[in-house]
Chain A
């Protein structure tokens, strides 16, 4: 071992007593002096690095449960809470719920974010043009008009985003919507409850609950109503004609959803005892009213007209009953 190799080994492991190190130090005074200096330096280094330990980490071990309570290790921080809420405002994990229950600031933050979501949803629900609502167009005529995917086809394109697309836009004949309006005139009224058990109703109720659990965040108190355009856009795909005045309360959320392949208007109505979700199910027949509760939600499904039904779901029976009463006495809608 030469001197350079010796120095390298000693600086890497000053306390090493490897045979090569010891033999070199014994046979080479320069190496022995170097080793002595490094070991002296080690003592100073060790002393300098041994910072005082705070009293909380010396003496007897603390009560670990008290320590856990005080430290909040593993609990969601306020910053993490806000990040999670801003990413998924309607997600209600145990951590989120615990944080909301224990931290008023976080509870207030969540409430404001949910209020923001209503405004965001309203702003993003742009009106749908007539060509994309109502009856489906003849797809072969549309394909002919659109010429999609034909090589070399260039559809006229405007310079400004809001200009008309001219001949490139397919507009189905006006008589189609007129015919639809004439055909859809049957008025549905609520039928009186029947005293029979309807096993299909239970299954439908379960399906409805499955659906709304993903959109529970919209079932929040709100004072701003959706506008007529959003309201009708939610109802039209299901072939339901109904105005906001027909609804049993202020409608703060309206969206078209699909349940079991059928188009279903999904409304949030601000009832006198709190917000409820109302799903209009024009194609789901019920023999009798069905009451259903699950996961802190209460609901009722009511037969409507000859072949439809509505579902009213809230966070408690009082909110559901309030809207149900109004629905029983006021609701009329036609499809």
Chain B
């Protein structure tokens, strides 16, 4: 095998290892950015291709996840800019076959799903980064280009709105 072929193989292995581990998270992030499972799948696949083409720009493997999330974020924005796609009406999403999550208590789950979807995108994005992807406040701030304080404010307001708009069995948040 030539040196070039070896380097190419190694590059592909690195790509598979770094991207493969994060695809589920990337999809869920994209889904909660645009509210559309099919569009999120498209966005992630395009993001995967962009990641492949710019893999050499990623110097540290440990930084792969935030790097990929940033690519997905940009790709999602690019989709909307390119297509001038209208904002998805979250009402259309509830009951869509691909979005049925739990076999138990599905109505309740759908209602919560809808309540999350009705959050303003500015509130929903840090919530998915924290709740689903497990990022710290600082990491969310870096990904979204915000201060820590702004992230905390958005997270607090997001949950407060969910409590107000959806019966989560919570006391009123002051």
Contact = CB atoms under 8 A, between A and B. Distances in A.
A253 to B, nearest CB: 11
B32 interface: yes
Among B12, B23, B35, the one with the most A-chain Cβ atoms within 10 Å of its Cβ is B23
Given A116-B170, A143-B52, A143-B53, A128 B24 contact: yes
Given A86-B173, A258-B21, A113 B101 contact: no
Contacts of A169: 38, 41-42, 45
Contacts of B46: 146, 148
B131 A124 contact: yes
Interface stretch (A152-160, A196-204, A270-278, A290-298): A152-160
A164 B36 CA distance: 11
Contacts, number: 192
Interface stretch (A30-38, A39-47, A225-233, A321-329): A225-233
Contacts of A233: 24
Given A116-B169, A124-B32, A162 B92 contact: yes
Given A78-B174, A142-B45, A146-B46, A87 B155 contact: yes
Pick the most buried of A79, A228, A263: most chain B CB atoms within 10 A of its CB.
A263
B104 A227 contact: yes
B3 interface: no
Nearest to A161: B36
Contacts of A257: 134
A179 interface: no
Given A129-B27, A169-B45, A258-B65, A164 B38 contact: yes
A125 B101 CA distance: 8
Given A131-B41, A256-B24, A88 B137 contact: yes
B143 interface: no
B171 interface: yes
Nearest to B13: A136
A117 interface: yes
Interface residues of A, number: 68
A270 to B, nearest CB: 16
B156 A139 contact: no
Nearest to B19: A136
The winner among A82, A87, A146 for most chain B CB atoms within 10 A is A87
* Secondary structure call for the B interface: helix
A192 B24 CA distance: 34
A123 B101 contact: yes
28 contacts: A87-B152, A87-B159, A115-B169, A120-B112, A120-B131, A123-B101, A123-B116, A124-B127, A125-B28, A126-B28, A127-B99, A131-B45, A136-B20, A139-B12, A139-B52, A142-B45, A142-B49, A142-B52, A154-B82, A158-B38, A161-B36, A161-B93, A162-B38, A162-B93, A162-B98, A169-B38, A170-B45, A258-B21
Interface of A: 78-79, 82-84, 86-89, 108-109, 112-113, 115-117, 119-129, 131-133, 136, 139, 142-143, 146, 148-149, 154-155, 157-158, 160-165, 168-170, 214-215, 224-225, 227-230, 233, 236-237, 255-258, 261-263
